[in-house]
Each structure stands twice: as structure tokens, then as C-alpha cells.
Structure 1
């Protein structure tokens, strides 16, 4: 099982490529039944994920964990000091790329015939040049998100709440504010990125067949495992890394590094479309990896990790299948 997990993590770089950008998909079609998803292999993968979370949490309270945090602080100092600049540069470049491509709302599969939208996207990019116009760019992102919902539906756009998180970061940073309760702009990005990736993980379990054409083109991706099993394992890896983003500082920083590495690795396999599409979440992962915010270490919080992970897993599977039943009219069984 440990060998399987290792190879799956190594191969997840390709699985992290958003399948809707490269393969045919059908959201109206029925997802895999829960009986097929919640099988023995799934249970073993969940158990392994929990083990990884607990080990990471225990490590954080040791001398080695403290040394790792200090090393991360030194290695990521530049990114931490220039987080706002990184977001402005990458997001500005992202919207310039969308303007250049044309016919795309926010991600490659969200097509539009509206000829005014590319120029609207260019205006969003220009807004990143000055701090006082950043809130206007943030508002523009929200307008694009709503436009995409009207064209593709709320269920489809549930794939991308990270864009709303990025918009919140841009607006709050431009205004020099945080949310009540001490929630920082970067925390909003972190939470929405976690939600985005946990939702995407469930989609890998619900529709593994969407990725099968990629396995034909890139047979080495699965390391000899069946496509069905590989997608279960890839979803498990993505889910646990996404959940780790809302955990303790060292765990979430390591998770962000692993996620950034997989997204960047996928670019070499899938090219500029993947680079453009994943640019906002990559910069978010870099910022989270560099974030040196601390929190008191408490063993009782670690003891609650399995409960939190289990609750998140049940909630996202239930939400995905429940929302699909409501919006697409399919059974969850």
C-alpha cells in the first residue's frame, strides 16, 4: 500500500491537469454510484491519508518539526516579503493571457462568443498595476465568475471557488483590510483553494472515465495500475493535501509545496493551457508555503484531525452527489 501511494503521488502531476480542459466531459451523465466509490481500496487509501496527516501533525511538535519550519522560513523569505507583488504579477499575466486567447471566461473549458469579454479581462489586468485599482479588478473577477455561472450553471462553477478567494485577497489587500476575527486575505485564498481541490477530488472519484483518454496518450501516467484505481488514489492524494491546507502551519506549508510541485510538473506534460489555467492557484500555493503565521501546538487538536478529515470527506462526497442530484437530476446510489 505504501508503494502504491508513493507512485500515485509521483504520478499525480498529470492527474492534477484539469481533465475538463483536455478531454470530453458530460456533467449531465450519472456519476459512479457511491457503492462503487466507497469500496475496499477507497477505505485503504483513506486510512493511509489519515496516517500521513497524523504523522505530519506529530512531527510538527518535535525539534525536527521546528527545524523544518525555520528552514522553510529562510527558503521562502523572498516570496513572503513579496506575496502581494506575486499575486499582482501572476494574476495580471493570467488575464492578459485570457485577453490574448479570446473566447474564454476564466478557464479553458468555459467558452464564450462575447467579443467584449476579452477587453474586460484586459481591463482587469490593467487594474493590477496600482494598489488603489485592485478592488476594481477584484470586482471584475466576481463579474466574470457570475457570467460563467449564468452560462454554465452553479454546479460547474463549484469547481472554481478559488477565483472568489483570489478576488477577496486582491480586494482586501488593495483596501489594506482583513476580515473580522483576524482572518487575513491569504487565509481566504487558503480556505477557498482547499474547497476547490477537495471538490475536484470527489469529481475524480465520481467521473474517473473522463481521464481515460489521457491514459491512452500518456500510458506511463498510471504506473501500471488500472485507470479506475489510479483515479481513486489520485483523488485521495489530492483530497488529503487539500484538507491539509486548513491544518497546522507546518502541515499546510508542506502540503502547499507538494501541490505547487504537482501543478508545475503537469505544465511540462500538458503545456501552456495548463500553465495559464493553473497560474492563480500556483501562486496561491507559493504564498501559502511562504506564510510564516504560527499557531499554538496542541495535541488535542491533533487528536481531532481524524474527526475533521472524516467529516470533510463525508461532507464533500455528500455535497457533490447531492448537488448533482439537485442540478442534474441523477440518483446518488
Structure 2
């Protein structure tokens, strides 16, 4: 009798825990995970060559629960997109973002100019705060990149300068570390293609940087699962952002929200615009939490998200059947996890499991 009661109590406890975490997963989708959008390598100690959490620890029950919530929300968004409610949302977004849409190119050029002038003013940074350098030529190149953004004719030269900086960072910090930042290559492609008034094999410049942003954020989300302990000092310093839940679950949830919204940036028109709006809220709230370092470091991502939100180009061919959304998300998650862990094991001789 005692054994049956104990088992019933354990089952009830597990059910309460499951319901609580399900509601938490729902709340993450409503309020976002803003502070988790701060790039942990800018604020805390890290070891990119260290052993990541094994996949058997990453793919746990909480992970499966959060993935289920993500699939439900993603599928629901795709269903709503082709309804009258979806059309109303599109019209509403179009009205709000019309001014931004008309000045997308100028906006991106201005923010990129601000970014590179800020890097030059701070000094000793290649592209992001943890990528340090002592070369004085880097600062001069950053100023030249900013100057080149003043004219369309010189934008391709600025793009080439960004690629040079990215190459220097790869030389000094390795390919795996720079896999965090393909958005810089995406911005370089956008600036070059816009300056030359060309597409990339039929893909418009804004779509090129949109895909690069999606890959950047999907990769960063895997890092939240592989190395959650890097963020624990931030969570201890800012305990309110965890919504009262333990740090392990918070990092799993933050990674799942970020991965799903990042993948949505590569999906259908309304879905990616809503995802861009949610990501904007997360990144902007992180700027208030972590200050100017976060403002400068994430300015490139923020301006691209604004451009995606404002992009209203009608593309009927981009709409897909809603049932493809869960399959696409699961496929992207599998490929990204596999690439991250296999790549890390190959470069640093670490274990996958």
C-alpha cells in the first residue's frame, strides 16, 4: 500500500512538474527570452575548445517538451498565415513599417557605419568584443569601411573590408569560433550586391543577409544547450530573467525559442516577419539589461531584423503547406546539432555523447 501511494505521489509530482514546465514553455513564447539574447562570450569566461554537454544530456525530457511547444506554435503560425487573420496582420505590419521599408538601404548603411566607427573608437577589436587585436591597421580598415558606406559606388569596397576582417578573425581565433558570426558575411554580401545593383543567383540582397542571420542565431542557440554553464554567472547576477525557474531549464528554453524564431526567419513571409518582431523585442530588451556593449555588438542583427519586419515584397511562390513547418524545423534542428557536435569533435577531439 505504501509503495502504491509513493508511486502515485511521484506520478502526481511528475505531472505537476510537466504542467509547470509546459506553462513555462508557453510563457517563453509570449514574453520572449530577452536577456538570453546577450552574447555570453562578451560578458563571461568561456572555453570554445572545452567539452560540450553530451547529446544524451541535451536531448532530455525538458528538451522534448520544449520542442513540442515550439512545433505547436510554429505550425499554428503557418496555419494562421493564409487566413483572414493573417491578412489582417500583414496589413497592420505594412502600415506600421512603411517608412522603414522605404529607407531600408539607408538604414542598414547608417547602422553599419555606426558599428564600424564604434569599433574604431573603442579600439583593439576586430568584429566583436571577444575578438581582440593589437594591430593598428584594423582600426584604419574599420574607418575605411564606414567611409565607404557613404556612397553606393564604394559599398563593394566596404564589403571587401568586412570580409578581410572576418578572415583575420578566422586566422586568429579559428573557423569554429567564427561560425558564430556568418551574419558579417551576409552583411558584406548585402552591401556588395546593393552597391552593384545585382542579385546573388536570383536571390535578392536582403534575402542573402536574412538567411545569414537565421544561420547565425540557430548556431548560437545550440551553444546555449552545449555550454549553458557559460551563462550561469549572468543569470546569478540578473536572477529575475529566469522567471523563477532553474538555470538549466531556462537555458534550454532560451535556446529553443531562439532556434525556432531563427529558423522562422527562413520560412514564409508573415511567419518570418512575426519572428523578426519577436527577436527584435528580445535583442532590444537585452540592450537595456546589458548596456552599450550589447547595443553596439548587436546593432547589425537588430537593423537586419527591422529590415525583415518591414519587407513586404509579395512572393506567392514562398508559401508552403503548414504541415511542412514541423518537418522543416526538426530537419534544421537535427542538421545544426549534428554539424555543431561533429565539427567540434573533429576540430578539438571532444566527445559527441
- Whether the 8 Å CA contact 2:37–2:282 is kept in 1: the answer is yes
In the alignment, is the contact (CA less than 8 A) between 2:22 and 2:65 conserved in 1? no
1:249 to 250, 269, 272: 269
Cα distance in 2, alignment partners of residues 314 and 45 from structure 1: 15
Task: Name 2:307's counterpart in structure 1.
Answer: 287
Once residues 136 and 78 of structure 1 are traced to their aligned partners in structure 2, the CA distance between those partners, rounded to angstroms, is: 28
Residue 233 of structure 2 is aligned to residue 213 of structure 1: yes
TM-score (norm 1): 0.97
Matches within 5 A, 1:34-113: 34-113=55-134
Is the CA contact (8 Å cut-off) linking 1:11 and 1:223 kept in structure 2? no
Note if 1:116 corresponds to 2:131. no
Instruction: Describe the shift of the 1:255–1:18 C-alpha distance in structure 2 as closer, same or farther (beyond 3 A).
Output: same
1:194 maps to 214
1:54 Cα offset (Å): 0.7
Residue equivalent to 2:40:
19
How far has the Cα of 1:3 moved from its partner?
A: 2.6
Cα separation, 2, equivalents of 1:277 and 1:305 = 31
Q: Verify the 8 A CA contact 1:11 1:221 in the aligned structure 2.
A: no
Q: RMSD between aligned alpha carbons? A: 1.3
Would the alpha carbon gap of residues 143 and 171 (structure 1) be closer, same or farther in structure 2, given more than 3 Å must change?
Answer: same
**1:301 pairs with 2:321:** yes
**TM-score after normalising by structure 2:** 0.92
Measured in 2, the distance between the counterparts of 1:250 and 1:171 equals: 27
2:190·2:209 contact (CA, 8 Å) conserved in 1?
yes
Aligned to 1:149: 170
Name the SS of the counterpart of 1:156 in structure 2.
Answer: helix
- Offset of residue 130 of structure 1: 0.8
Name the structure 2 match of 1:131: 152
CA distance in 1, matches of 2:245, 2:218: 23
